């Protein structure tokens, strides 16, 4: 047969453009994403005594400490909701967001050996980390609901508690936080190929970001602090946390403008992150 008449089933060619991105390819590698997600659980809890129980113990211990420090000692207001649930709600959502960033921030550096041997869409690694964080979130959310039921039937002792119509927004809120964490994580991972300092600073930066988010306090407590209030309102994580609390606890308020702003920031950062990540993956072996 004449080589010019051969029908090829697959054509491999280099991609060099900034916007030469094939997101459909990720769907074809969905089994690999699932495999990486399973691997993440195996690596994290391998050779641990309590294993996956740490998924529940970590946020529970953190919530108790925050409740003692910020609710008990500092006496920060919780807008009428039980202090324990108020902090647990914010901490549960924040834990997923922080995990998305921290676990994807070293994508290129941590997987350089594997990336140099075989081809597959590099975004499968960050996606698997986000799915791992999402699974952990739903396990922790189930624990939150158990405490919610307990406090609901003891409102006279602990304070008012109710779910609101904002429950319909909850899936959007959770998905947005996942995408925002993915966006920030892949931006950081792309930059760490040249600037290794970011890998060290990212954990500290996420901690600072938490204190700029109303995780352990309400935005009403900043009414006399206009500068701090402005910083918190510019934070794209503020609106999702407020909506999450309003949906499950019926406390605080939700600014629709803040939600739209947060969604826009998420979309913009995700677009920047995907483009930057796609660009870096073509040349990262020269710098890692």
| CA 77/CA 220 separation, integer angstroms | 8
- List per-residue pLDDT tens for the chain, 288 residues long: 555 556 666 665 555 555 556 677 778 888 888 898 888 877 776 666 666 787 888 888 988 998 888 877 777 777 778 889 999 999 999 999 999 998 888 877 777 677 767 777 788 888 999 999 999 999 999 999 999 999 888 877 777 788 888 999 999 999 999 999 999 999 988 888 777 767 778 888 899 999 999 998 888 878 788 888 889 899 999 999 999 999 999 887 888 999 999 999 999 999 999 888 888 776 665 555
Number of domains in the chain: 1
Residues in the chain: 288
Global pTM reads: 0.85
- Residue showing tokens 């391998």: 46
Whether residue 2 is contained in a domain is answered as no
Whether residue 121 is contained in a domain is answered as yes
Query: Which domain does 57 fall in, by range?
Result: 20-286
CA dihedral 30, 115, 41, 32 (to 10 degrees): 20
Per the CB < 8 A criterion, the answer to whether 260 and 254 are in contact is: no
Whether residue 24 is contained in a domain is answered as yes
Quick one: tokens of 165? 């119509």
Whether residue 14 is contained in a domain is answered as no
């Amino acid at each position: 047969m004449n080589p010019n008449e051969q029908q090829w089933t697959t054509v491999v060619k280099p991609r060099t453009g900034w916007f030469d991105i094939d997101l459909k390819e990720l769907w074809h590698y969905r089994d690999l994403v699932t495999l990486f997600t399973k691997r993440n659980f195996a690596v994290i809890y391998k050779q641990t005594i309590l294993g996956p129980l740490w998924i529940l113990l970590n946020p529970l211990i953190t919530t108790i400490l925050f409740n003692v420090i910020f609710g008990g000692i500092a006496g920060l207001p919780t807008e009428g909701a039980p202090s324990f649930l108020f902090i647990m709600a914010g901490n549960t959502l924040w834990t997923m967001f922080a995990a998305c960033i921290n676990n994807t921030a070293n994508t290129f550096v941590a997987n350089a050996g594997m990336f140099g041997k075989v081809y597959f869409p590099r975004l499968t690694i960050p996606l698997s980390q986000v799915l791992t964080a999402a699974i952990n979130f739903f396990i922790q959310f189930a624990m939150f609901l158990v405490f919610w039921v307990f406090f609901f039937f003891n409102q006279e002792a602990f304070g008012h508690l109710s779910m609101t119509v904002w429950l319909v927004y909850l899936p959007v809120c959770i998905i947005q936080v996942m995408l925002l964490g993915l966006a920030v994580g892949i931006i950081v991972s792309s930059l760490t190929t040249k600037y290794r300092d970011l890998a060290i600073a990212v954990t500290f930066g996420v901690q600072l970001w938490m204190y700029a988010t109303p995780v352990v306090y309400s935005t009403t407590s900043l009414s006399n602090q206009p500068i701090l209030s402005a910083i918190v309102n510019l934070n794209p994580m503020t609106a999702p946390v407020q909506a999450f609390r309003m949906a499950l606890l019926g406390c605080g308020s939700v600014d629709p403008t803040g939600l739209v702003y947060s969604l826009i920031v998420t979309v913009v950062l995700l677009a920047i992150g995907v483009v930057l990540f796609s660009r870096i993956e073509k040349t990262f072996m020269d710098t890692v």
